[in-house]
Amino acid sequence: MAGVVGYSDRINHAFAFAAKHHDKQVRKGTALPYLTHPANVAIILTRYERDENTVLAGILRDVVADSVRDGQTHEDLEERVGAKFGQDVLATVLAVTVRTINDAGVEMASDERKDDLIERLDKASDSARWLCAAHTLHNASAILADLKRTSFADSVWARFSPGAEPTAHWYRRVYDRLYETGFRAPIMDELRSAVERLEQSPSRTTPASFAAGLALLVCCVLTFAAAGTMAAQSAAQKPKGPDFSGIWTLNLAESDFGGAPVPRNDTSKIKRSGAVYQMDQTGDFGTHGGVQRTSFKWPATDGEVTTPMQQGAVLDVKVAIKGDTSVFTTTLSVEGKAILEQTGRDYLSARGKQLIRETNLKELQRGDWEPVHMVLVYDKR
């Protein structure tokens, strides 16, 4: 079987078609454009030298899945997808797409839909099984990459309503069923490895993971408060540097989280009194704890401060005001061990209507954890 080599008009057309469909979609719990998923599925299939129709099915898989979920009929899909890319491509995708209605015309519950897909893999074509394996492999690999990027595993697993164990179990079911059907393609070794690593991955909060989760909250808090210090300044002194007073809401669309878990929302009320900020924050940072409310008092001038946090954590902040910019270094410690370090700067833009934080977040206890660069944008109400 000849694999895809080089440029293809059909593949280019499929990517344009998928890009239009997924235009405003992002990957669950991240700021990544959703198109990165079908692109990676296509790369995986091309790497294993699959034919062009299978690669096309990989690109269009979620276009069809979304359409089925939204109630489009088989005739609709034949006209919208089959006529453009071929009925074989559409058939390959439909063979491994979760459907809402069974052969008897009865609407299925969520668990029944998954059982139905597992059962249908037995009659799926070789191309459809390749598509299923590549789709599952990229989803599992993306989770593993996010788990490696943060030690707060719950912030990753919280994206999936069933939780860690049921999600990992689903990937195991798909792999096992593919194997039971006699599918022994080379991709199965890679898929098995990914599934096994998912099953061994952390799913409960540890002291270190608590610290990382707390840092998500602190990262947002410091956007407003890092300009403060406890240096020998009196509240009566003239304020120095930018004034971050006001009510600020995190702009998810304009922020870049560097692949770190994306908060669901974050709103902070900042009031400055002389050299001190009072910050009242409400946000959902994707943890199992849901919405969190915190209050902080932070000085607002040059110097250093040590602040007690939740569950025995301690936050050290060093700040230097340079013109209209607050340059900072923070260290978060738990049980006397430095866990996380942040360095960066805060400044106002858009005539004071936006607050920008550029920061690098580094975990100190894991040598394999790459620093995360984030740019957080807050809008003033």
CA distance 28 to 26: 6
The C-alpha angle 125, 130, 131, rounded to 5 degrees, equals 95
Indicate the burial class of 339 (C-beta count within 10 angstroms; 0-12, 13-18, 19 or more): buried
Query: What tokens appear for 53 in the block?
Result: 């129709």
Query: What tokens appear for 256 in the block?
Result: 């870049």
Query: What tokens appear for 60 in the block?
Result: 């269009």
Domains of the chain with CATH codes: 9-200 (1.10.3210.10), 207-380 (2.40.128.20)
- The fraction of the chain above a pLDDT of 70, given in percent, is 78
* pLDDT 10s digits, 55-104: 999 999 999 999 998 889 999 999 999 999 999 999 999 999 999 998 89
DSSP label at 238?
P
What pLDDT score does 85 carry? 96
Indicate the burial class of 80 (C-beta count within 10 angstroms; 0-12, 13-18, 19 or more): middle
| pLDDT at residue 241 greater than cutoff 70 | no
Angle separating helix axes 9-21 and 52-69, nearest 10 degrees:
20
What pLDDT score does 106 carry? 92
Indicate the burial class of 86 (C-beta count within 10 angstroms; 0-12, 13-18, 19 or more): middle
CA distance 116 to 127: 19
pTM: 0.60
Over residues 319-327, the mean pLDDT reads 81
What pLDDT score does 263 carry? 74
* pLDDT 10s digits, 152-190: 677 788 778 777 889 999 999 999 999 999 999 999 999
Averaged pLDDT score across all residues of the chain: 81
What pLDDT score does 79 carry? 94
Between 34 and 243, name the one with better pLDDT: 34
Cβ proximity of 227 and 329 under 8 Å? no
Range of 206-215, 279-288, 328-337, 363-372 with top mean pLDDT: 328-337
Give the largest CA-CA distance in the chain.
Answer: 79
Indicate the burial class of 241 (C-beta count within 10 angstroms; 0-12, 13-18, 19 or more): buried
Under DSSP, is residue 260 helix (H, G, I), strand (E, B) or coil? coil
| pLDDT at residue 115 greater than cutoff 60 | yes
Among 133-137, 236-240, 338-342, where is mean pLDDT lowest? 236-240
Cβ proximity of 19 and 69 under 8 Å? no
Q: What ranges make up the beta strands (E) of the chain? A: 246-250, 265-273, 276-284, 291-299, 303-308, 313-322, 325-334, 337-349, 354-363, 372-380
Angle separating helix axes 126-149 and 36-47, nearest 10 degrees:
120
